[in-house]
């Protein structure tokens, strides 16, 4: 595709939602819903920006995700942003604290970024975490866990459990309430948040007070109908999903290990209340639904939020997809309601 066509798709992404809807009235449908106009525009842009072969080089992909956060996520001012060093499973990890409320003993969420276990860091999700802190009044602590393929499974879940416990140990110094600190994350980070909640419940001692799972991947077998239905998804095609999960799995053979696929965990009755967000045009939509079903079957309180026209990653595209900001406001409102 020529450079002018690419420019045209960039321009379309930046257009008002109503105009995009008029330009593309016959957008794709899935399970009775039509894709959101701005989500459709973003998907068309992603298609032409993806490198030949479909899967970006690891370092190139990491830089692209940081760039997306800088260009397409709304910015809000937060009164306190502090870089930290916390303990991981095999040494110190970078973390970043966001707070817009003063005082001691604040409610908090430890946040694990998305990026397929291969991409993402505290920079790629900087504006997302800042908005959550601003709009919820919670302290948000974003964790830079180790990434694959350099550090395959189980490095990431081990880091995330260790990071949560390290943060709880420093709760007084950080100004947070250890009894009201939960976990959250998007995509791969949603998987890790679910795993941390399970691991903490099984270990005894400090536990997550809640879990916020944003379009999580919870079954590494990638065997759901929505994955099968969307092999050529613009944002998360099957070839990219396979690349991410094979890079993360490394030499590990058991995809049903609950630390890799938390849908296969046990002890769900001991897990904390959950907020689970999914999008209808996301190959992972059935993952989030299945996990919510399993939690509810165990008697865990679950708040579900479903955006039938949305794509994977839309909360981090709030500058160009209005429902991204709406979704984050919804999470923030839920957090405020349980203070």
- Residues labelled catalytic: 187, 282, 312
Alpha helices per DSSP H over 170-321: 171-174, 188-203, 225-229, 238-249, 285-297
DSSP code of residue 254: -
The SS3 assignment for 102 reads coil
Residue 284, SS3 per DSSP: coil
Say if CB 106 and CB 97 are below 8 A apart: no
- Alpha-carbon torsion (9, 279, 208, 253), positive or negative: negative
Where helices occur in 91-170 by DSSP H, the ranges are 126-136, 155-169
Q: Select from 186, 196, 204 the least CA-distant residue to 154.
A: 196
Task: Quickly count: other Cβ atoms within 10 Å of residue 155's Cβ.
Answer: 20
- Rounded to whole angstroms, the Cα distance separating 327 from 22 reads 24
Give the gyration radius of the chain's Cα atoms: 19
């Amino acid at each position: 595709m020529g450079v002018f066509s690419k420019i045209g798709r960039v321009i379309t992404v930046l257009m008002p939602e109503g105009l995009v809807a008029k330009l593309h009235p016959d957008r794709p449908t899935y399970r009775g819903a039509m894709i959101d106009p701005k989500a459709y525009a973003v998907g068309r842009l992603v298609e032409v920006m993806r490198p030949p072969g479909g899967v970006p080089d690891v370092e190139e992909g990491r830089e692209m995700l940081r760039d997306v956060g800088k260009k397409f996520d709304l910015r809000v001012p937060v009164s306190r942003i502090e870089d930290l060093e916390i303990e991981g499973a095999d040494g110190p990890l970078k973390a970043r604290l966001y707070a817009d409320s003063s005082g001691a003993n604040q409610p908090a969420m430890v946040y694990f970024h998305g990026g397929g276990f291969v991409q993402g860091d505290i920079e790629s999700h900087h504006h997302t975490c800042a908005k959550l802190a601003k709009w919820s009044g919670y302290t948000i602590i974003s964790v830079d866990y180790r990434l694959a393929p350099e550090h395959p499974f189980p490095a990431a879940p081990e880091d995330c459990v260790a990071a949560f416990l390290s943060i709880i140990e420093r709760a007084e110094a950080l100004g947070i309430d250890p009894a009201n600190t939960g976990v959250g994350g998007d995509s791969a980070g949603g998987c890790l948040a679910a795993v941390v909640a399970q691991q903490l419940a099984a270990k005894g001692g400090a536990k997550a007070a809640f879990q916020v799972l944003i379009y999580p991947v919870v079954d590494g077998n990638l065997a759901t109908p929505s994955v099968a239905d969307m092999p050529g998804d613009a944002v998360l095609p099957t070839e990219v999903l396979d690349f991410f999960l094979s890079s993360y799995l490394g030499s590990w053979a058991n995809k049903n290990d609950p630390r890799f696929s938390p849908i296969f965990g046990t002890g769900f009755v001991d897990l904390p209340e959950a907020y689970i967000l999914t999008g209808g045009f996301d190959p992972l939509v059935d993952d989030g639904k299945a996990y919510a079903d399993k939690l509810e079957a165990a008697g865990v309180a679950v708040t579900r939020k479903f955006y039938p026209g949305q794509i994977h990653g839309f909360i981090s595209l709030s500058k160009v997809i209005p429902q991204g900001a709406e979704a984050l406001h919804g999470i923030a409102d839920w957090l405020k309601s349980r203070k």
